[in-house]
């Protein structure tokens, strides 16, 4: 990376961090940290406010591919002690003088930077995104990375095909969840590769992990916005294998007749 690119990313990261800390709430930080069972620092900034900070920081900037990745990398990483704030919750594990844990809102901002700049990204960045997914360990970060970033990227770039195939059989359930949720946005809009999603979902249908069961149902539910019949035809013969949470999500947008048929089959 060119020195000026690194400087641009570092400056923007400082701006984003400062604005996030200014908007933070200690009370909100404590509640969100407990809700997410998080070991990260929390500033206590809402998702809409975090998104507004990122949009403001990127407005008028024409970042290069490398600058986008460097900005995301800097925000994802743990802050230096100089940017820590008394308004964030104290680190409960992994934090000591000079070695702070990462910040949840900074990581959320990193995902938003990537999503808002996805026109500059492609399959060559799959390893970088996968690294973030493996470190995220929470739906609050995994879901936007998989659904709002990998989904659109994989639809336009066939280079993601082998990546998703590998993710679908990964030992990490967050990576398997990502393979499922990568189909969410295209299928919601009436496009996408339902055959591939259904193949992935079929192999995971009897898993006990809640986040896998929920993801399957979620994608089926959103697919049925445009194509209820294809969802009905897929879930009906598998109803006896699917979990309750998968079924509840899958049938939400089906007709009453279809819904009853699925529930009876279960």
pLDDT at 266: 85
Side-chain half-sphere exposure of 114, counting CA atoms within 13 A: 33
N-to-C CA span, the chain: 56
| Whole-number Cα distances in Å, 241 to 18, 179, 192, 213 | 50, 20, 25, 11
Q: What are phi and psi of 100, to 5 degrees?
A: -90, 150
pLDDT at 92: 43
| Whole-number Cα distances in Å, 184 to 141, 145, 179, 197, 213 | 15, 12, 10, 9, 14
Task: Give CA torsion, residues 84, 86, 92, 96, to 10 deg.
Answer: 50
pLDDT at 212: 98
Q: What is the residue-level pLDDT of the chain in tens, covering all 266 positions?
A: 565 667 889 999 999 999 999 999 999 999 999 999 999 999 999 999 999 999 999 999 999 999 999 999 999 999 876 554 444 444 444 444 456 889 999 999 999 999 999 999 999 999 999 999 999 999 999 999 999 999 999 999 999 999 999 999 999 999 999 999 999 999 999 999 999 999 999 999 999 999 999 999 999 999 999 999 999 999 999 999 999 999 999 999 999 999 999 999 98
pLDDT at 89: 44
pLDDT at 90: 46
Enumerate the β-bridge partners of residue 103.
Answer: 41
Burial of 95 (0-12, 13-18, 19+ CB in 10 A): middle
């Amino acid at each position: 990376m060119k020195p000026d690119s690194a400087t641009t990313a570092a400056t923007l990261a400082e701006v984003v961090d400062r604005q996030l800390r200014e908007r933070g709430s200690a009370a909100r930080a404590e509640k969100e940290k407990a809700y997410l069972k998080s070991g990260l620092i929390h500033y206590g900034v809402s998702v809409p406010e975090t998104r507004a900070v990122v949009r403001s920081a990127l407005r008028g900037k024409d970042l290069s591919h490398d600058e986008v990745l460097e900005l995301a990398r800097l925000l994802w990483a743990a802050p230096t002690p100089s940017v820590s704030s008394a308004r964030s919750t104290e680190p409960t594990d992994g934090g000591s003088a000079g070695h702070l844990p990462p910040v949840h809102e900074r990581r959320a901002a990193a995902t938003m930077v990537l999503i808002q700049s996805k026109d500059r990204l492609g399959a060559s960045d799959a390893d970088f995104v996968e690294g973030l997914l493996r470190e995220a360990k929470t739906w609050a970060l995994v879901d936007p990375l998989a659904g709002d970033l990998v989904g659109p990227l994989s639809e336009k770039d066939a280079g993601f095909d082998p990546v998703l195939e590998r993710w679908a059989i990964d030992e990490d359930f967050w990576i398997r969840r990502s393979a499922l949720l990568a189909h969410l946005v295209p299928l919601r809009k009436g496009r996408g590769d339902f055959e591939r999603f259904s193949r992935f979902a079929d192999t995971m249908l009897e898993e006990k992990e809640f986040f896998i069961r929920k993801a399957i149902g979620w994608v089926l539910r959103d697919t049925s916005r445009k194509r209820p019949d294809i969802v009905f035809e897929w879930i009906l013969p598998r109803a006896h294998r699917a979990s309750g949470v998968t079924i509840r999500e899958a049938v939400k947008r089906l007709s009453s007749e279809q819904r009853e048929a699925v529930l009876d089959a279960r």
